[in-house]
Amino acid sequence: MSCEADRTEDSLSKWIEAAAAVEQIFDGATIALAGSGGGLLEADAVLAKLEQRFLETGHPRDLTIVHALGIGDGKGSGLGRFAHRGMVRRVIGGHWSWSPAMQRLAQDDAFEAYSLPAGAISTLLREIGAGRPGLITHVGLRTFVDPRIDGGKINARATEDIVELVHLDGREYLRYKPFMIDFAIVRGSSADDAGNVTLRHEPADLDVYAAALAAHNSGGRVIVQVKSRQRDDYVPARLVRIPGVLVDSVVETADQVQCVVADYDASLSGESLCPVGEGFYEAPTGIRHIIASRAAKELHAGQSANFGFGIPGGIPGLLAREGRLGTFWGSVEQGIHNGAMLDGPMFGTARNADAIQSSVDQFDFYSGGGVDVTFLGMGEMDGDGNINVSKLGTTVVGPGGFIDITQGARKIVFCGAFEAKGLEVEQADGGLRIVAAGSVPKLVERVQHITFSGEQARIAGQQVLYVTERAVFRLEADGVRLIEVAQGVNVQRDVLDRMGFAPLVDESLLSGATKEAFKAAAV
């Protein structure tokens, strides 16, 4: 048999069924996953077979799962395929909300749970693949990831130190320690017989290459799910995102859909443009609209801007209605630039995007200071200017790209309701009326989890605003200052009396009685 025939036979052997692919995975293996919410690049056909194998045989068990972004539909797909007692020993995750079952197991100490910044995880996979000594970065300093606080440990079972503080040239950094990857399970659009994988029909690239590189160069194996097999002789080299040298097994999945909102939409994958008409952009309503409208005033023409999930995700829709699209450069952590950004379960995608790059490259852009202003959510806030979005009550949420973005941006605008659970407001006569107060305070004495560090922001010289439906605060050298209240809002009754800390207050906002009360409190 000729050498050419040998190569062809070896290439063809990469194509196997999902059940056969997961038979390779052994007890105690470390698996890197790539994907994002809404089914984005989710290799769920392979993951479903892996779950089935465990439920039928009890193997593989004691797995370590590593993932940067949230993976799943919230109903059991993606990361949820591993949410069975005994199946995992450790999870290192950037975002957990797309798998409520896994969140509950972490809460119950069923395995060792760690949460790290999504960008740090993605970039660490690249560093592992490159054989470098982990990831050394400023990202995470003075947050819950810092070993001086929690070191990324988010339950009692997590005891190993996987992050350490280091000093270089008189400056502090965190080192995210490397580890071996036994398997990468990723997804593409198509592959040829040599295993060259394209992402030609996918709405994002994410960190599929970094995950594959880490597994291959660790001596592990790479399993790729694709929709179709490219049977012609030539795949344009520019379309290949994972070269066949990294790929061990390819699983063809004919019913693979692009994402939860479309079996296939070429305007999401950047292959063509779609017409943009009236109602194309969904604008927020209610409290979300009030907060997003005020926050949007902080965006100026010519700026590079990032928008986070939740309330900030509605800002692009408002800007579209105001005719301001095209006056700034917008991006999200999944690697999408400009376009009609989607909200809700498909946050992280856009129709008619200007550019789609890997999330690893995107996080490099954020970490290095490429963003002028970012708009992000706000779970809890305290008097030191700290923000918590990563652990609410006993629920593990994870930071996603929140830490990577906030520690690189020049200006940060946090967006969140003043209270939670039951809050109702209405706009009337140009002002705001609080119909019903929320029963859960969000401006607290001390946040439960430090996802954003006010101290670190002061050290870095960042501008920071906190926007709620009734009040706006600013981070200053000596504390958090109340600088605005909505018309119709009573400063003392509706703001100060309902906070867990005493902020600095602009004199212009205080009535005579309130001023006297402040003087007495100071004494």
For residues 270 and 189, give the distance between their C-alpha atoms in angstroms, rounded to a whole number. 14
- Looking at 258-303, list the stretches that DSSP marks H as alpha helix, in order from N- to C-terminal side: 286-296
**14: Cα within 13 Å, side-chain hemisphere:** 26
* Amino acid letter for position 468: T
Q: How far is 140 from 144, CA to CA, in rounded Å?
A: 8
Per-residue DSSP letter, 79 = G
471-476/190-192 β-pairing: unpaired
Q: Residue 177: what residue type? A: K
Query: Token pair of 510, please?
Result: 């205080």
Q: Cα separation of 36 and 189, whole Å?
A: 15
Q: Is 333 a catalytic residue?
A: yes
SS (H, E, C) 7-68: HHHHHHCCECCHHHHHHCCCCCCEEEECCEECCECCCHHHHHHHHHHHHHHCCCCCEEEEEC
Buried (b) or exposed (e) across 471-496, using 16+ Cβ within 10 A?
bbbbbeeebbbbbbbbebbebeebbb
Closest CA to 410 of 364, 376, 457: 457
Residue 125 CA, distance from chain mean position: 16
DSSP 175-187: EEPP----EEEEE
Task: For residue 485, give the amino acid letter.
Answer: V
Q: Among 127, 333, 380, 469, which one carries the catalytic annotation?
A: 333
Q: Quote the CA–CA distance of 247 and 133 in Å, as a whole number.
A: 24
Tell the burial category of 23 from Cβ atoms under 10 Å away from its Cβ (0-12, 13-18, 19+): middle
From its phi and psi, is residue 395 left (phi > 0), alpha (psi between -120 and 50) or beta?
A: beta
What are the beta bridge partners of residue 273? none
Distance CA 231, CA 439 (A): 60
Ordered alpha helix ranges (H), 312-453: 315-321, 359-367, 402-406
In three-state secondary structure terms, 82 is: helix
Catalytic annotation, residues: 333
